[in-house]
Amino acid sequence: MKKDFKGVVSRIRSRIKPENRAYIKKNLAISEQIIFILKQKGWSQKDFAEQLGKETSEVSKWLSGLHNITLQSITKMESVFGEDIITTPLEACEKYKQIQYVVFKVYAKPNEINSEPSPEYSENVTLGEHYNYSKAS
Amino acid sequence: MNNFAVIERLEEFTFEKVKYYSIRFHENEDEANEFYDFLTRMEDISEITSDLDNLLLWIEEIGKHHGAKKERFFRHEAKGGEASALPPSSRIMELYEIVVEEKLRLYCMVANENVVFLFNGGIKTTRYPQDCPNVGPYFKQANNLTKKIDKLFQEKSIRWNDDFTDINFDSSLIIEL
């Protein structure tokens, strides 16, 4: 009998263990963050190896996944990068609460500028004043 | 196989970063498109259960959060082939600490980082896909479909939306094979 294709996605999704889903999600997020930071810094694998005090071949293995991305490895990379690869929600809440936002109004047609400032114009708006992290998350 | 096909949007695989599409070789909507045919044929093969589950998670995860970065998240299967394939090489999958046991292949076309066409595939048993009795026909079909779809983009029968995050096409659009 021909199998029902319409339920196939639900059938496969329902058999996937939540921890497998979380594992792939986290691994992709961490690896993408490492690659993003390398790109942002304009570092090649050779530069990265020098910073880590390792052979390029070893780092190449590391980046190719032959070396597991353990917490110890992540911490070592974070210290070389000088920035976090992983930020916990509590750390994120603390970090982003302190960001100061300045809102500028941009006029597309300079000849039609309204001399009155618009009511939404504001300066040095603190995120915390407008945004409750715990409610939004 | 019919000598024409229609494009079908995969509503169950429409995510913020990637919109997935497939191809149906039948006019009748009650027939499976190529991607669902692939899933239905593969879902009960115990040897590849884990690989199939990981493949589905991979498709979902890049669709939700990362976008279809061709060089990192897909594989180029063979010289001369136009189509891409999933999963990426085991070397890449190891980077994400995901073990790929068998040679499950799903052929696809990455139109850009936001739009991907998922075709069909199977378990590859030979070094080169064109030599494999399982995936050979699907590999050939994917290459053919990729060329045809590419031509439809050039002819503007398939059009990008304003920010290139999705495509538009007439519901009557037919791909002649």
ipTM (interface pTM): 0.86
**Tokens matching residue A136:** 């939004």
Write out pLDDT tens, residues A23-53.
888 878 887 888 889 889 998 878 888 888 8
* Separation between Cα atoms, residue B170 and residue A54, nearest integer Å: 56
The SS3 assignment for B3 reads coil
Question: What type of residue is A121?
Answer: Y
The SS3 assignment for B172 reads coil
Question: Which chain B residue's Cα is nearest to A66?
Answer: B94
Q: How confident is the model at residue B139 (pLDDT cuts 50, 70, 90)?
A: very high
Across the interface, whether the CB atoms of A25 and B43 are under 8 A apart is answered: no
Check residue A64 and give its pLDDT: 46
Rounded to a whole number, what is the largest CA-CA distance in chain B? 44
- Predicted TM-score (pTM) of this structure: 0.77
Question: Which chain A residue's Cα is nearest to B31?
Answer: A5
Write out pLDDT tens, residues B108-124.
999 999 999 999 999 99
Q: What is the DSSP letter of B130?
A: G
List of domains in chain A: 8-84 (1.10.260.40), 90-136 (no CATH)
* Separation between Cα atoms, residue A49 and residue A43, nearest integer Å: 10
- From B32, B57, B65, residue closest to A16, measured CB to CB: B57
Asked if residue A110 has a cis previous peptide bond (ω within 30° of 0), the answer is no
A4 vs chain B: nearest CA distance in angstroms? Answer: 8
The SS3 assignment for A85 reads coil
A60 touches chain B (CB under 8 A): no
* Separation between Cα atoms, residue A121 and residue A116, nearest integer Å: 10
